[in-house]
Chains A and B, each alone.
Chain A
Amino acid sequence: TCNPSEKLDLDEWKKVMKSGLHEEVSETVSERKEVSTLDAAREILEMWRLAGRSVPEQISEEQLKTFMECPSKSAKKKYLKYLHLKELYKKNDKRKMDEKRERRLETQEQVSKTDETKRNSFVFVWANFMDRAYSWRVAQSMIFGQPLVFDMSYEKDMSVREVANTVRQIVLSESFNRRSADPFHIHFCNLKDDSLYLKEFVKNYREAWGKLLITVTDQCYTEVFPKDKLIYLTADSPKVMKTFDHDKIYIVGSMVDRSIKTGVSLAQAKRLGLETAALPLEKYLLWSSGAKNLTLDQMMHILLTLKDTGDWKKALEFVPKRKYCGFVSKP
């Protein structure tokens, strides 16, 4: 056979790309001048998406404005990546839900209808019953339980996204607490009426916000509790916590700190003249990497376990595995 490349028209692709596009050219030229900045940003994003960058497919006007207000190129990139990932997670969740629904429909066809309603109502009654049991316990804790304070005075040190993350972590913490055998009496202190914290809480809890069995106040914990009973938990504290004290009131700073502001909560405790403590992470764990500050829900798990068992090893199981490579074997 002959050399195949001789038959090839290597520039044929150009003809294909150029064909039938002349009408559009004149159209775009007239359009160009009237493009508003918001639309222009949308166009750029579309091009970035075509170029294969991490960009969300759908973007709201509000998000587009936030994007345009990002102070630097890298900030823009980061924000887009965040939106992109959020979109991916959402899509994945939706796909899983759909699959689940399909599976359920399939099984429903096999099982007779009467059985199903029976089981459904049983599940419903059981869930309702558990909710009441939890509420009863938390109500008990509001009278007799050990207080645990979340200090809501760090809004000024955080970005909007950090505040949202913080509240998300507290919501998780509160739900763990509600489900535990012996819950804390949770106090949200320094929570101001017009704060971003509060806005986020209402967004997360909706109408349940008013019915939560916790104490919310705009007062400082120093006004609510005797000073000598308070211990501020902070990773920057020079003092290491030895045992969990059931007579003390522990304070956790409601702060997510992505931009390395060391010593903020320690400064707060120093200012108020409070005792401080850090978890004995190094005493029990062979630390490998990562910051010593833990998320608020991890703190809640650890404190609840300590309260119930006093067992450090058990409590520190809640430190993320990637941060340490094992437990210190005691001599």
Chain B
Amino acid sequence: SVQPPEKPLQAEEWNRLRESFRSPEMFEEVMFSSMIRCNTPIDVAKSLLTHVARSKGDIAYNLLVKYLALCVQQGQTSEIRDVYDIMKIKFKILESGAYNLLIKGLSNSDQWRMALTLLEEVKNIMIPSRTNYESCIKAASRHREMNLAVDLYHEMLSKDLVPTLDVLQAFFDFSRGMKGAELQKELFGILIYLRENQIYPHKTFMRSIKLWFESIPGGNWRGHLTNIKDSGQCPVCNHQLESSDLTEEEYNNLRERIIRDVIHGTDTFRKTSPQEFEAFQTFVENRLPFDIVIDGLNVSHIKPRKMQCENLFDAVNCLAKENARLLVLGRKHMLINSSNWKTEIMKEMQNKADFFFAENISEDDAFLLYATLRSGKHCKFVTRDFLRDHKACLSDSLMRQLFRKWQRGHQIVFSASAGGKHINFLPAFCYDCVVQTTGDTWHIPYKNTFEEKYSYQVPRKWLCIQQK
């Protein structure tokens, strides 16, 4: 690559540089890219543009866009406008790259309203990107035009664009201390959006939410950070959180859909065979209901140094307390005596739990879901699997939401701190880990900013907000 000069150059100096470059036909393009990278002063870029315009009588579109990027990077508002004027004269329409830059650049300046005009222009030729909306919404809310920001936000949702957490947070940041029932309703709406899409705000976002609540004039809201007890009670306000149980109707819907979409899918033969599935159904119906369904193969890998059947044995023993009815799902190969699967231990386990052995080529997770859902709402299941591929088989978002809720409330996972000899399990939560409200209280789970989160892991930290 080339190093851009520090000062504007004369024509002959540019010519000399160009000739020393190994592919002169690409010189201007490469030079502009490296100017963007080095954040070179725009006067240098201007001198190159002038040189190009003089020698060729025209400047190519891609060079103009690159120059525009440099201007946006340096917040050169009047230059951005000039480039826009020139582009509008030369070209009938612009493409998304130029519009993205123009909107981004202008929305950060005192001419932010111009960005709105450009957004309208984009709409004539395509669906604007979510970052287009993001720039405009942030600009509007920065200038306290919350109604405008809200309108744009709804417009973006109606176009199926997913807002970034950043935009949502901006609403809370810029509405701080503002009056107005309408605006409050909108922000509550955003919290409901978090609830419906099972989004957990990160720590700084949570703080913006807290500060906004506490700033509502005459609202008397107070927020506290807390951990919810295992019983589901909030230690700050003693409020009992929503139960993780699904309603009868939700549960039945979910069950039917999982059997239809996940287990059968488009072709029963892909995951099992009709004969096998029928055999399994009969097996389950004759022994219902179970309390816990265990993915045997998955559990047998918990401790890699141990024999697989020992791991399973420990898990079964640990879960068999209090006369719980267990079902272990396995594959036929577990029944053949081998270094990992000892026949005596397998026999002993079969006294404590029911076992179903599927063909070695069938997918046992489908059976896991079926047996658990058939046993009823109280039944839990054990696996380390995230079940992501099964969730993906569900066609609509409402069902996926229900699936996640059910998963949160019914999946027993291994405790990570199990350093000792014994296997430990974390019980499934009896309360549901989502944003929730009763009108005069809000409970909002949040995560530390860069925390890794699996679908079965939920945040343990909460923001409790109550109205005094």
Q: Are B126 and A10 in contact (CB under 8 A)?
A: no
Chain B residues with CB below 8 A from A264, complex form: 267, 270
Report B-chain residues with C-beta under 8 Å of the C-beta of A10.
8, 43, 46-47, 50
Residue in B53, B125, B126, B270 whose CB lies within 8 Å of A16: B53
Choose one: A24, A51, A262; the contact of B65 (CB below 8 Å). A51
A-B contact pairs, 24 of them (CB 8 A): A4-B13, A5-B8, A5-B10, A7-B10, A8-B47, A8-B50, A10-B43, A10-B46, A13-B50, A14-B86, A17-B53, A17-B59, A17-B86, A21-B90, A24-B89, A25-B89, A44-B95, A47-B93, A50-B60, A51-B65, A51-B97, A262-B270, A264-B270, A267-B270
**Which A residues from 248 to 267 make CB contacts under 8 A with B?**
262-264, 266-267
For residue A66, which residues in chain B have a CB less than 8 angstroms away from its CB? Answer: none
Please state if B271 and A51 are interface contacts (CB–CB under 8 Å).
no
B59 contacts across to A, CB distance below 8 A? 13, 16-17
Contacts of A262 in B (CB 8 A): 270
Distance in angstroms between the alpha carbons of A13 and B56 in the assembled complex: 11
Tell me the nearest residue of chain B to A238, going by C-beta: B361
Contact A13 B60 (CB under 8 A): no
Q: Is the CB of A4 within 8 A of B10?
A: yes
User: Which residues of B are at the interface with A, using a C-beta cutoff of 8 A?
Assistant: 7-10, 13, 29, 43, 46-47, 49-50, 52-54, 57-62, 65, 82, 86, 89-95, 97-98, 125-126, 267, 269-271, 273, 360-361
Say if the beta carbon of A104 comes within 8 Å of chain B: no
Residues of B within 8 A of A50 (CB): 60-62, 91, 95
Is the Cβ of B10 less than 8 Å from the Cβ of A44? no
Q: Known A5-B8, A271-B269; judge A52-B95 contact (CB<8 A).
A: no
**Cα separation A250 to B156 with both chains bound (whole Å):** 54
**A32 cross-chain contacts in B, Cβ below 8 A:** 92
A residues in contact with B269, CB < 8 Å: 263, 266-268, 270-271
Residue interface bits A11-26, CB-to-B below 8 A is 1, else 0:
1111011100100110
B62 touches A43 (CB 8 A): no
A267 to nearest B CB, angstroms? 3
Closest chain A CB from B95 CB (angstroms): 4
A290-328 CB contact bits vs B (8 Å, 1 = yes)? 000000000000000000000000000000000000000
A193 nearest CB across to chain B (Å): 25
B61 and A47 contact, CB distance less than 8 A: yes
Count of A-B contacts judged by CB separation below 8 Å:
100
Chain A residues with CB under 8 A of B57: 16
Are B50 and A40 in contact, with the CB atoms below 8 A? no
Q: Which residues of B contact A16 (CB under 8 A)?
A: 53-54, 57-59
Check if A47 sits within 8 Å of B10, measured CB to CB: no
Instruction: Give the CA-CA distance A31 to B65 in the complex, in Å.
Output: 25
How would residues 270 to 282 of chain A score, 1 for a CB under 8 Å from any chain B CB and 0 otherwise? 1100000000000
Return chain A residues, CB-CB under 8 Å to B92. Answer: 28, 31-32, 43
Chain A residues lying within 8 Å of B91, measured Cβ to Cβ, are 47, 50
A223 at interface, CB cutoff 8 A: no
Q: Which residue of B lies closest to A25 (CB)?
A: B89
**Contact status A13-B9, CB under 8 Å:** no
Contact A8 B62 (CB under 8 A): no
Residues B61 and A51 in contact, CB atoms below 8 Å apart: yes
A48 is an interface residue with CB less than 8 A from chain B: yes
Q: Please determine whether A51 and B98 come into contact, CB atoms closer than 8 angstroms.
A: yes
In this complex, the member of A11, A17, A48, A262 whose beta carbon has the largest number of chain B beta carbons within 10 angstroms is A17
Q: How far is the CA of A40 from the CA of B126 in the complex (A)?
A: 10
Residue of B nearest to A10 (CB): B46
Residues of A within 8 Å of B52, CB to CB, are 13
- Given A12-B50, A17-B53, A264-B267; 13 other pairs, CB 8 A cutoff: A4-B8, A8-B10, A8-B50, A10-B50, A12-B53, A14-B86, A16-B58, A21-B90, A44-B125, A52-B62, A267-B267, A270-B269, A270-B273
Q: CB distance A238 to B360 under 8 Å?
A: yes
Are B89 and A21 in contact (CB-based, < 8 A)?
yes
Partner of B126, one of A4, A11, A18, A44: A44
User: What is the distance, in angstroms, from B97's C-beta to the closest C-beta of chain A?
Assistant: 5
Assembly CA distance A209 to B230 (angstroms): 72
Contact flags A23-46 to B (C-beta < 8 A → 1, else 0): 011001001100000001001100
Task: Please tell me if the beta carbons of B89 and A17 are within 8 angstroms of each other in the complex.
Answer: yes
